[in-house]
Structure 1
Amino acid sequence: MADQISIDKQETGSGGRYVAVVSGHEAEMAFSRASPHLIIIDHTAVPDALRGQGVGQALALHAVEDARAGGWKIIPLCPFMRAQSLRHEEWADVVQQR
């Protein structure tokens, strides 16, 4: 299911969010930009209707791929992103654990 999830990035001056809309429900992963080379993921919200469908994981993977492409690192303050990053050792190149 996660491969079919379309994710958009919405940026503001100091941060932004990754948004996935699935079956009319919106899930998001919010971030703030600590520096040009560092973002802090501080919030992930997946509505109950989408739980268990891989939407949160798709958002996390998208953030990791975006960081790799953009040349920045991620600090996972959000408990969900932190748990995902600990499960995926292959993300260690862009995820900075505290």
Structure 2
Amino acid sequence: MNTAAPDPDGSGWYEIRLQGRLDPRWEATFEGMTLTTGHGITRLVGPVVDQAALHGLLLRLRDIGLPLVSVCQVETAAEPCPPHHPDTTPRGA
């Protein structure tokens, strides 16, 4: 679990999960990010320099059309976000 305070500028490592399978050829589009797929989820993990870069990355992902599942700041590529359980998310949250 990430217990370090996030940098105010938003820099650090992020894990972004998308519903669906993104072909590995897209990895070159997301320079510095590692792309993996499995169990109907695409996972992008890598460094992001600041909030502007994070928002730009999210805009590019939006344009691809796969639903966004989660965005999580992590310590390293080896530290995954907590599992996503859509059936336990409170309504209105």
Shorter-chain TM-score bucket reads: 0.3 to 0.5
- Which protein has the bigger strand share? 1
Q: Which has the larger radius of gyration?
A: 2
Query: With CA pairs under 8 Å and 6+ residues apart, which has the higher RCO, 1 or 2?
Result: 2
TM-score (norm 2): 0.36
TM-score (norm 1): 0.34
- Which protein has the bigger helix share? 1
